Structure 1
């Protein structure tokens, strides 16, 4: 009798949310039933239905008739949608970041195993790190690998000139994102999720944190929400706790910088391998976006002047901010690879030519042993 009453309540609840056209809520409800059911065959059938749900083939199709949310004052769209995200290049990350991103993909590709274990895939992810280290690129990569559209929140648009409407704008964006089988990126999260004890902020901005917390708590397991910030120290502590996964992006290590530089140069310059080795030293402590900007500037100059790109790469080899050991290593590599003469290596690095010759002799002696 009790089981029959439970079935009746569940059926009525399912009918209510289905008639309200809340597809994400229907999926979330069926996911809960699949996890809690004592009937293995029912659980298996529901899992299979969820895996093959129609929205997978065309995530935006069912919501195409629903207009993107707009700011009531400016009428600007609050979201930018990339239905098929395109990457300017493949991301290069540290082992730890790459493993985390790969696991997040595997969770979505093998939801059945998680449900059978009574688990949900990760639904809220926080990207932190300085500008230009690949946070937005990682969001694009995740969306592309999941074959889902990427929805990007334009925080400059959501911040209404009438602050009282900003909370409403944020709710509209997040409600819309819940209805789409996509990946939502909240960029520059610190703009709306600052610490509530920050005396420099007015009450309305503090209330935005509460709105965001409510939405994060209510985010469906079928969706993916990614937030990114360059200023993690500004975030309200309560916001940190709402994210299930934290991914910390750092300035690229030398090997990552070398691979990135080689990918940019291998079709435009001879000895791309050698240039990537030395430039990874000269451009250490730079972000991926800074490295890209610097190399593209050199490429433009070469194209305009009709010079070889090598001539515009040499001036980039100044390493005044690097350690003495880095400068010596760079000078030796420059001469050893034949990119420049010992005299030019001295001019670029400040390392004495005698030191360069001694190190070169040591390298040669090591190879002959």
Structure 2
């Protein structure tokens, strides 16, 4: 598309100067893969690795972003991060600055990356993601230089920079398995975080908080712990993924997927949707069948607990719970009498 507009600009330069100028202005204002922050006044191309010439960061194209399902505590922290940067002038009048950095900690699939996308979308700034596989140069002495390039670029205009899988580079410096160059890299990273400006937001995500150097934790203004979803959060997410399915299937799926991540639940529902399309059956039937298939491979004690939870927390009858879980009504009656 960029190439086509350039050709049209040259073609109409003589015959339709006004159109040519309009096309040129469009090129100047539009984001570009090589300069994603162009619309924010920065036409500098993204930094490249000196050896491979690959881009050290990628810019995520932000369309409509689904509001992530989060626990109440996490949602409060994420919304405050947004509001601090939206209403920076209020903080300045009080002699304060917005939080510059945030560390997202939690297992895979609990919404850390989606929260970063949502923040960038809410703040209407580019989301830049550090590609750690690329930034780790084959010549370790250049890795520190690569990180400086990335962070200097992200500082140059308002943006949200996400350092994903931070533990890849910010490991404990007392880890004897790591070479000295990687330990020096942690020092470089800490220096760069300390120098981060309040005009942009630096976010880092890790699935393995215990691997991080203790000094890394102290450098972040906000630390957000993303837990696995509880029953309420799982049900809310399932309502997003399943659409207009009735409450019975949502209650049942919520119990079957207890202890799993949002990503696990989304994959489960997506698989059921494909199955329903292939077999030309109702999504309701496909979801129930997939959940029952998963129940069959569980221990009897786990299936019984799911059945008892459904009996207690949903409006399903004892007969229906028995049909869904495969636990006999006699077993359910005995357990209820003993509780």
Asked if these proteins are the same fold (TM beyond 0.5), I'd say: yes
- SS of the equivalent of 2:236 reads helix
1:247-266 alignment runs, 5 A limit: 247-266=224-243
Provide the C-alpha distance between the structure 2 equivalents of 1:62 and 1:311, rounded to a whole number of angstroms: 49
Long gaps (5+) in structure 1: 1-54, 362-369
User: 1:316 aligns to what?
Assistant: 291
Q: Structure 2 length as normaliser, TM-score?
A: 0.80
Contact 1:151-1:185 at 8 Å conserved across structures? yes
- 1:130-159 Cα distance to aligned partner (Å, 9 max, x none): 000000000011111111110111111111
SS at 2:302 equivalent = coil
Match of 1:107 in 2: 84
SS at match of 1:80: strand
For residues 124 and 68 of structure 1, the distance between their equivalents in structure 2, rounded to whole angstroms, comes to 21
In the TM superposition, residue 223 of structure 1 has moved relative to its aligned partner by 1.4
Partner of 1:99, secondary structure, is: helix
1:45-104 deviations in Å (ceiling 9; x for gaps)? xxxxxxxxxx9xx953355531111111111111111353542x3211111001111111
Does residue 224 (structure 1) correspond to residue 201 (structure 2)? The answer is yes
Preserved CA contact (<8 Å) 1:121 1:221? yes
> Does structure 2 conserve the Cα–Cα contact (< 8 Å) formed by 1:346 and 1:353?
no
Partner secondary structure for residue 70 of structure 1: coil
Distance in 2, matches of 1:264 and 1:240, equals 34
Q: 2:60 aligns with which of 44, 64, 82?
A: 82
SS at match of 1:336: coil
Offset from partner CA, 1:190-243 (integer Å, 9 cap, x none): 001000010001111111101101101111111110000000000001111100
Alignment of 1:165 with 2:142, yes or no, is: yes
Is residue 2:322 matched to residue 1:327?
no
Residues paired across the two proteins, number:
297
Separation in 2, partners of 1:107, 1:335: 43
Larger radius of gyration: 1
1:33-53 deviation per Cα after TM superposition (whole angstroms, max 9, x unaligned): xxxxxxxxxxxxxxxxxxxxx
Q: Which of these residues, 250, 260, 264, is aligned with residue 290 of structure 1?
A: 264
Q: CA deviation at 1:266?
A: 2.1
Indicate conservation of the 8 Å contact 1:134/1:249, yes or no.
yes
- Comparing 316-325 with 97-106, which one deviates more in the overlay? 316-325
For structure 2, the 5+ residue unaligned runs are 1-28, 30-35
Partner of 1:20 in structure 2? Answer: none
Tell me how far apart the structure 2 counterparts of residues 195 and 171 of structure 1 sit (CA, whole Å).
20
Q: Secondary structure of the equivalent of 1:239?
A: helix
Q: Secondary structure at the match of 2:254?
A: helix
Following superposition, the deviation at residue 173 of structure 1 comes to: 0.4
Structure 2: distance between partners of 1:61 and 1:343: 59
State the shift of 1:334 in Å.
8.5
**1:179-194 paired onto structure 2 within 5 Å:** 179-194=156-171
Q: Distance in 1 between matches of 2:314 and 2:332?
A: 10
Judge conservation of contact 1:332–1:360 (CA < 8 Å) in 2. no
Whether the 8 Å CA contact 2:310–2:321 is kept in 1: the answer is: no
| 1:357 Cα deviation from its structure 2 partner | 6.1
Following the alignment from structure 1 to structure 2, what is the Cα–Cα distance between the partners of residues 294 and 68?
Answer: 37
- Contact 2:116–2:203 (CA under 8 A) maintained in structure 1: yes
Alignment counterpart, residue 250 of structure 2, candidates 269, 276, 287: 276
> Structure 1 residues 336, 77: CA separation in 2 closer, same or farther (over 3 Å shift)?
same
Give the distance between the partners of 1:62 and 1:303, measured in 2 at CA.
Answer: 43
Are residue 69 (structure 1) and residue 43 (structure 2) matched? Answer: no
Match of residue 352 from structure 1 = 328
Rounded to whole Å, the distance in 2 between the matches of 1:183 and 1:102 is: 15
Pair 1:295–1:84, CA change in 2 (3 A): closer
Q: Distance in 1 between matches of 2:133 and 2:97?
A: 33
Match of 2:316 in 1: 336
In structure 2, the residue matched to 1:23 is none
